[in-house]
Structure 1
Amino acid sequence: MRLILLPVLALTAACTIDQDISGPVYFAENCAACHGPTGEGDGQLAEFLSVPPSDLTMLSARNGGVFPRDAVMSAIDGYARGAHFAPEMPEFGAGDLGDTIIVEDEDGIGTPIPEGLVALADYLETIQK
């Protein structure tokens, strides 16, 4: 296991992720079929889901202009899911999201998070409108 201490996740996570881990690639391979290639919820499988996929480009707008990184990672991982999620949404935490890194919050508390999950959250933050 490789450990990296990150003082501020939002500013430094993308710079310390393994070169082989790519948020855009993870998104294209695992999310785009439902959420669409641009994340707007218009993927080719969207019409077949019991709950329409979220427009992932509006996460910050729906959260007062702040990207809800912890909630996004928790939803992707499968740890916290509300009734608004389609049961078809996979729990990616059960799969291989890469090596675990330690991410420190503003209070210095470290949390182990898979690299792929951090990379995917970083990518989703870049597509916000």
Structure 2
Amino acid sequence: MSRPIIKATLALAATLTLAACNEPAPMPDRRDGAAFFAENCTACHGDTARGDGPAASGLPKPPPDLTRLSRRNGGTFPDAKALAYIYGGPGQGHLARVMPEFGAEMAEDTVPVKIDGIWTPTPRELAGLLAYLKSIQS
């Protein structure tokens, strides 16, 4: 192989490598959210998200059935309310919550999610969790 061809090949390989490094990560989807849920939420909310996890009986207030959030909200999934509660909204003092706040740990990796018609920077893991929760509504 001649030197010009080798140089051109190396330049092309370097360009493709750099381009691959700069591609944004794909938007999280329901599968990502299901994985997050399985790792962080099933102890209380149960495998089916109905509030029947193994730790639920020891809580002062039973976890809600997460498959009915839309039904309890007039048929519309309550994106903003769910995100605020999961993230740890300012209206919920730490003593009033049983559920841990997830926001502080993941605030640096955000993606745009449309919440109440407004594109909102949302932690990647919570965006996936919202997609999952929406997908399990009954």
In 2, the alpha carbon distance for the partners of 1:50 and 1:102 equals: 35
Cα separation, partners in 2 of 1:18 and 1:40, compared to 1, 3 Å = closer
> 5+ residue gaps in structure 1?
5-15
Give the TM-score normalised by structure 2.
0.70
* Residue 8 of structure 1: aligned partner: none
* Residue 118 of structure 1: aligned partner: 127
1:41 aligns with 2:51: yes
* Residue 59 of structure 1: aligned partner: 69
Report runs of 4+ in structure 1 exceeding 6 Å deviation: none
| Structure ID, larger Rg | 2
1:61-97 Cα distance to aligned partner (Å, 9 max, x none): 10011111111111100115559x9632100112236
Contact 2:87 2:101 in 1 (8 A): yes
In 1, the alpha carbon distance for the partners of 2:79 and 2:119 equals: 15
Higher relative contact order (CA closer than 8 Å, sequence separation 6+): 1
The share of aligned pairs that are identical, in percent, is: 45
In 1, the alpha carbon distance for the partners of 2:43 and 2:78 equals: 23
Q: Which has the higher helix share?
A: 2
Letter in 2 for 1:111: T
